[in-house]
Chain A
Amino acid sequence: MNKTLLIIQREYLTRVKNKRFVLTTILMPLLIVALIAGTTFLSIKGKDEHKIAVIDNNGFFKDNLKSSKDLSFEFPVGVDTSNYLTKGYTDIILMPKFDGTQKMNYTIRSKKSLSMINEGKITDRINAAIEDNMLQTAGIHKSQLDSIHKQSQFAELSAVEENGKGTQESNSALSYGIGFGSGMLIYITMFIYGAMVMRGVMEEKTNRIAEVMVSSVKPFQLMSGKIIGIGAVGLTQFFMWIILIIGLSTAAQAFIPHDVMEQVKTLQQANGQMPGGGMMKASDAAEQIYKVQHTISTANWPVIIGCFIFYFFGGYLFYAALFAAVGSVVNEDPQDAQSLMLPVTMPIIFSFIIMTNAVQDPSTPMAVWASIIPFSSPMVMMARIAYGIPGTVPYWQLGLSMLSLIGGFLFTTWLSGKIYRTGILMYGKKVSWKEMGKWAFRKN
């Protein structure tokens, strides 16, 4: 059998057979689900509620300040800045007399400092109250105003993008989710599997098996076998996760009717818009599910998944080779590894930062170039692809990016192969960057 194939096989099997692999493969999705559920739970439960005492001596805001669950406004009598805390309020606002012409300063006092979001919300409420007040002054009746407010929530932006022949529905929230999710996934796997390659190489070196190995195979075969083997482990893990997720979500569907009805019920109670009745609720749940499915179906999944696999593997190969080179020059001291790893991890972290920007605005020159340069293209291009091909990402950019990534990993593999060949048999000496450069670029 081909020697590289044998090495791939060993690298793959020893890792996949490992109990830890099975455990992380099963636990990781559960952990992610638990994480999402946990944060959602906390964000619902953990919101601090503000009960705000409004001192409005002019009666200007009376009845116009809208309260909600986490921000409630009351107009108590006999409460002032000295005793609002003891009377059960968390904050107090002192309303000056409003003359309707100039900007006013409102002062809110509280024990804990207000969050930026809450500050914004309070400002919005006050502004809305002023607006309502002005409308009423202009002669619109209070009941008219209320019914307008209730019925005017019509706008739902539905974006479509040019698609050559026609238009295609797009959903920026979904694109954001897909872009960020896949970019994040590539980021994490680069670190996990890159570090795995590095540790594997270090193991061979410190166990002194490297010399035994290179007397039967070429160092390049050893390195590439390891990189491909571990990459295959990564893909296996992905496929198992996908199967697990599909399995879990099918299982979860069995619980949907009850769950969704609960959700819908609370939704309706909060809005108070839907008229009551069991039949109405059920159809609304169906509508919700339809909406989610419809949104998901707007994404071009075959292209996204295809690109994801390409960029995952390309990015992995690009960086794994560099990690292998680092592993080959490290001696027993793990601290060496830390400092030598830095030049490899820096571009990864930097690309991640560009990715988080690109996913918000995929057409900036920075995002475009970062999605073509192979150092950052795996993450950044995935963030952009989610927004659509060829709308956001023209074909030439995608093609150039893919070609340069292929060229990039061939280059890093070649470069690392040269460093690796010398480094793996070098013991006891700390290798400088200059020396590594010499190894990489010397002839033969």
Chain B
Amino acid sequence: MSNILELHNLKKYYATQKAVEDISFSIEKGSIFGLLGPNGAGKTTLLRMITGIFYPDSGQIQFDGKTFDPLNDIIKIGYMPEERGLYKKMKIGEQALYLAQLKGLSRNDAMEKIKFWFKRLEMESWWNKKVEDLSKGMSQKLQFVITVLHEPKLIILDEPFSGLDPLNASLIKDEIYGLAQRGSTIIFSTHRMEQVEEICDHIVLMNLGQKVLDGTVAQIKQQFKENKFGIKLSEVPASIHANCFDVAEQKANALTVKIKEGYKSNDVLQYFLQQNLNIESFHEILPSLNEIFINLVDGTKATTRAFQPVNN
């Protein structure tokens, strides 16, 4: 499968900060891609370059096999920024129509698509309401519709679930899956790890303007596994002394063990079998993305990213 987007050595410096420093990665067509990072990591700047709002200081963007041309490619991109906004005094139907036309749809096309989406998300009765009459969740839904309305090849969602109740969040989530199945590629920027784990195929973790991690969720988990296993016994002996592992944690009759260098999981099982203990369950404990994230980002002072002069 080919790549919808390839970034090569992108750089963007502000007066006091290296917002994005030498970032390269690529995104497969039809995948759901997670762009992660703590606040101020440079995600928004990167997304603004991908959407053509900013020009990179250096580096290249390949979009759909060609050099990215913001003027013409903009219709193939749908961007829902973190800072959401709509014209408060404008009627919802008119607003959707206006924004769709600005994307480059003809009036009739836009109308048809708005009707389709409004019907699909049960928003038909909103047409003549104003945005100021909507609740936060409702306007979030509207914003989502406006973003995906023109069926862009690349959909960029910055924190799409913030402010949504679980019901609406799962509704939007289903739509995201649906869009991906129909061939759209989705970039999903967030710092909510549990959502990423659930939705994304591929992730990139950014910190301090640089790429820290790049890979599929499964790969990354494998990469950061700490050889921990969970084991549940029907009866726990008073003391466990094994050469092959240490007990990291014990809760009632469930143990978390860390296997020592040079041993395998079977060695652990063998130990308990030899002790004639009844094993109820045994499973590998992979680190959550959250833990990986905290491990990687913690200690880099990312939360208090200092301003430093930029020497070009």
A residues within 8 Å of B by Cβ?
1, 3, 6-7, 10, 14, 203-204, 207-218, 425, 427, 438, 444
Given that A215-B52, A215-B79, A216-B74 are known contacts, is A6 also in contact with B84, CB under 8 Å in the complex?
no
Chain A residue numbers with a CB within 8 Å of B83 are 208, 211, 427
Query: Measured between alpha carbons, how far is A3 from B52 in the docked complex, in Å?
Result: 16
Chain A residue numbers with a CB within 8 Å of B71 are 218
Interface residues of B in 159-194 (CB under 8 A from A): none
Query: Measured between alpha carbons, how far is A37 from B89 in the docked complex, in Å?
Result: 38
| Nearest-Cβ distance from residue B58 to partner chain A, whole angstroms | 12
Q: For residue B91, which residue of chain A has the nearest CB?
A: A14
Interchain CB contact under 8 A, B53 and A214? yes
Beyond the given A6-B101, A14-B89, A215-B74, could you list 4 further A-B residue pairs with CB under 8 A, ordered by the A residue number?
A6-B102, A209-B86, A211-B53, A212-B86
| Nearest-Cβ distance from residue B249 to partner chain A, whole angstroms | 43
Chain A residue numbers with a CB within 8 Å of B84 are 208, 212
Decide yes or no whether B77 CB sits under 8 A from chain A.
yes
| Nearest-Cβ distance from residue A203 to partner chain B, whole angstroms | 8
Chain B residue numbers with a CB within 8 Å of A438 are 15
Decide yes or no whether B247 CB sits under 8 A from chain A.
no
Decide yes or no whether B90 CB sits under 8 A from chain A.
yes
Query: Measured between alpha carbons, how far is A7 from B102 in the docked complex, in Å?
Result: 8
B residues within 8 Å of A by Cβ?
15, 48, 51-53, 55, 71, 74, 77, 79-81, 83-90, 98-99, 101-104, 107, 143, 146
Q: For residue A13, which residue of chain B has the nearest CB?
A: B94
Chain A residue numbers with a CB within 8 Å of B107 are 1
Q: For residue A205, which residue of chain B has the nearest CB?
A: B85
Given that A207-B86, A208-B85 are known contacts, is A213 also in contact with B102, CB under 8 Å in the complex?
yes
Query: Measured between alpha carbons, how far is A217 from B52 in the docked complex, in Å?
Result: 10
Q: For residue A225, which residue of chain B has the nearest CB?
A: B102
Query: Measured between alpha carbons, how far is A213 from B48 in the docked complex, in Å?
Result: 12
Query: Measured between alpha carbons, how far is A212 from B52 in the docked complex, in Å?
Result: 12
Given that A14-B90, A209-B87 are known contacts, is A425 also in contact with B99, CB under 8 Å in the complex?
no
| Nearest-Cβ distance from residue B158 to partner chain A, whole angstroms | 9
| Nearest-Cβ distance from residue A400 to partner chain B, whole angstroms | 37
Between-chain CB contacts (< 8 Å), 20 pairs: A6-B102, A10-B98, A14-B90, A203-B88, A208-B81, A211-B53, A211-B81, A211-B85, A212-B79, A212-B86, A212-B143, A212-B146, A215-B52, A215-B77, A215-B79, A215-B81, A216-B103, A217-B102, A218-B71, A438-B15
